[in-house]
Amino acid sequence: MANIGRVWAETVPRRPADRPRTSWGVGGTARLPPPEPAIRDRVMWLEILLASVLGFVIYWFISRDREEILPFEDGWWGPGVKTITREDESIRPFKVETSDEEINDLHQRIDKFRLTPPLEDSRFHYGFNSNYLKKILSYWRNEFDWRKQVEFLNKYPHFKTKIEGLDIHFIHVKPPQLPSGRTPKTLLMVHGWPGSFYEFYKIIPLLTDPKSHGLSDEHIFEVICPSIPGYGFSEASYKKGFNTVACARIFYKLMLRLGFQKFYIQGGDWGSLICTNMAQLVPRHVKGLHLNMAFVARNLSNLTLLLGKRFAGFLGFTERDVELLFPWKDKVFYNIMRESGYLHIQATKPDTVGCALNDSPVGLAAYILEKFSTWTNSEFRDLEDGGLERKFSLNDLLTNIMLYWTTKTIVPSQRFYKENLGQGMNQKHERMKVFVPTGFAAFPCEILHVPEKWLKSKFPKLISYSYMAAGGHFAAFEEPKLLAQDIRKFVTLVEQQ
């Protein structure tokens, strides 16, 4: 490519050797001297530069949609050095349990907690309002029945199995009834922070037993919901470096261990990135990828927001995109600034704040429930109660808190941020595209709206994009029916291909 300019020059017809080169100016013609060596060198380097740029452009157009697969490595995240040659692959039933000692300790800690009065008219602008926190603590201490919630947690079958040195917890729910001749579609659903597998308890029956809930039984699913290592009942890594790619590999091994060679995957928050990584690792095993959140931060098209909504049509934004993105200072810039303080702490010094949260159930509840307020709807920060009970019951919220408290997993769950974000934003999977059929549910109150145009740069096989009628960050927890319907819509499109 570097000699393109020279080759072109040699193909241009030349003057006869005896014909002088002339310059038409005052005084007639004059023979021009041959170019200086310095000028010839400059021309040559200019030719090389132009050829190089042309070569880069051609390479970019050829390779930009080239399918890549994330390298499938192996790992050992258990304690010490791996000494076993073959890991125990047995799948063991597991049951959630509690005790009088656990409950009494919780009550004693709640009784001794010291509250700081909120500023007047501060609502949720300074974080969790302690006046409303008093109501939650009273309910938690005097009305919340953890034993009853443990029974409810055990309504679905729980299991554990060792993978790469860690005990991995998951629930596996099969259809209670299956029409003759039908086989269920396999769906892996992955949670995020500060959620848990419990987020999926309301959507599972809509997927496994749709007819009993007034839905079409065109698609009946068998659902697997694992806990991310370091969350809830899944053992935390003993070593540094456990990121979403390692988690995706472990969950893929889990699916193989359960006997599934091809399956659908779905996720939001960390779950969306874990599922995306799985599609990058083993695309031939992923029938379809459905997300309700996506990470496309490296996309330069994000900068188009700075041009303003007057250029929205030119930039490929729909009217709904404009409503959800503009004014960008309020809906993008300030919203991200307000909601990202926790991320910086957890991506740098997770163990420090973790000491306080692991020791105080009330501090843990305030820290986590604040996210269930503003991430469900950013406007809830204007309410005295944070709008928490508009979308959730206190039983559901406190059950999720208890999954962190009783397992002592708030610290390892926060370390997941440092392992993924504390190593810099230039990891291979961030640069790679995803070449499996993809569906996306855009919930209107998500922290950051992602237009279809942005998604297609990362997911070229995006076949379904839906503007959801309601809901925010915790989609399966907030709007299980809407999410279930969109998953069905996406699967229908995949099956028709």
Q: Is 252 a catalytic residue?
A: no
Q: Would you say residue 41 lies in a domain?
A: no
Q: With CA atoms as reference, report the closest residue to 185 among 198, 174, 176, 177.
A: 174
Instruction: Give 391-408 pLDDT, tens digit per residue.
Output: 999 999 999 999 999 999
| Options 169, 429, 449, 473, the catalytic residue | 473
Cis peptide before 16 (omega within 30 of 0): no
Q: Name the 3-class secondary structure at 440.
A: strand
Say if 428 falls within a structural domain. yes
Could you tell me if residue 433 is inside a domain?
Answer: yes
What is the CATH number for 390?
3.40.50.1820
Q: Which whole-number Å values give the CA distances from 38 to 35, 41, 52, 152, in the listed order?
A: 8, 5, 21, 83
Q: Which of 231, 264, 404, 417 is catalytic?
A: 417
Which stretches of the chain drop beneath a pLDDT of 50? Answer: 1-28, 55-63
- The SS3 of residue 76 is coil
Total tally of structural domains belonging to the chain: 1
In a domain, 22, yes or no: no
pLDDT the model gives residue 327: 86
- Residue 13 included in any domain: no
Q: Which domain range does residue 185 map to?
A: 97-496
113 CB neighbour count, 10 Å cutoff: 15
- Residue 473 a catalytic site member: yes
Q: Of the residues 198, 201, 269, 465, which is catalytic?
A: 269
Known catalytic residue: 269? yes
Whether residue 30 is contained in a domain is answered as no
Q: What is the pLDDT of residue 60?
A: 45
pLDDT at 61: 46
Alpha helices in 313-360 (DSSP H): 319-325, 328, 335-339, 341-348, 350-359
Burial of 467 (0-12, 13-18, 19+ CB in 10 A): middle
Whether residue 47 lies inside any domain: the answer is no
Coil vs helix vs strand at 170: strand
**pLDDT for the residue 169:** 99
Residue 300, CB-side half-sphere exposure with 13 Å CA sphere: 0
What is the reported pLDDT for 333?
82
Does residue 12 fall inside a structural domain? no
